[in-house]
Structure 1
């Protein structure tokens, strides 16, 4: 979805990509959900600037620079508002996805607050989502006699998952290789037949030419 979003912005509002590196940015989604076209942004210049400056890292100078860039946009014209409709649709979908993710994160946080983390290893940078994932895989952490055994189990589990993915990838490669070999055989078998057909057709043409002469 984001690739399609980027492609259509590159065609109709390429300047947007100079100001937003993250296409699921809250600022961008709020902006385009209300002003999904060049015309809408220019027509509502003051509201656009007001919206942008309501977010952190967006001062009035930057907001005005954005609007001015849109005014000079080299993007394609959206005569029938097709691009506008697509941009609005994708923006709304991305907003819904972000809201769903946030809702899930909130639920996980609430669950983790009720969970006894006394014996959970204190690992820097590990958030509630990662902890919840580990708990769902491991179960009762108290069954491990030490942190070292717990870490060893996680490494073993991770390595097992990696090996499964590698085996799956190897299987896919082998299947593709088999298909490629089959195609090669079919091509090799077809070449002599095609050559015979060509020779017969050539002989027929020569015979026909002799009859005419």
Structure 2
């Protein structure tokens, strides 16, 4: 089971880089969740992929023989927040520091996990599912995040999620022993994204 000392929570982004990286590999959510919870997460991912008419692939379902262009999540996502996280912060992160991304397609994905490009966010609707932040919450994403935190023996959580993403995991903190530091940027709206990215970099490098 993957051990994580500090877990940072951030949102995915609508803007994504295209293409693939042949060497795309890294610790995945499957190494940090109990088997039953991983199976539940995979089932939910498959439902979102089907609603979005996305082809099957091992990034959504490890048992799938389908193919998809993949690259590490922290490279794939290209929103304003991600542009303020320097490459060396990702590559020189302290041991035991991991970033979990709350994702419209994947639910939860670790920062080095290989993912595809997809064209929607948690703030949007998909046919048959409705608003994705509500769908994920109602289908157990808060419990899956809590399971990740417990199973990986996380000692500290830094929550840098934005509003819609907080809604998707609302309730995950109940019963947790690990302290949660929620960082907000009131009144800034989209202008908070650069500061959010800089805060991620500080945690990765042990400066926060």
Same fold (TM over 0.5): no
Identify the structure with the greater strand proportion. 2
Q: Which has the larger radius of gyration?
A: 1
Scaled by the length of structure 1, what TM-score is found? 0.23
Higher relative contact order (CA 8 A, sep 6+): 2
Scaled by the length of structure 2, what TM-score is found? 0.23
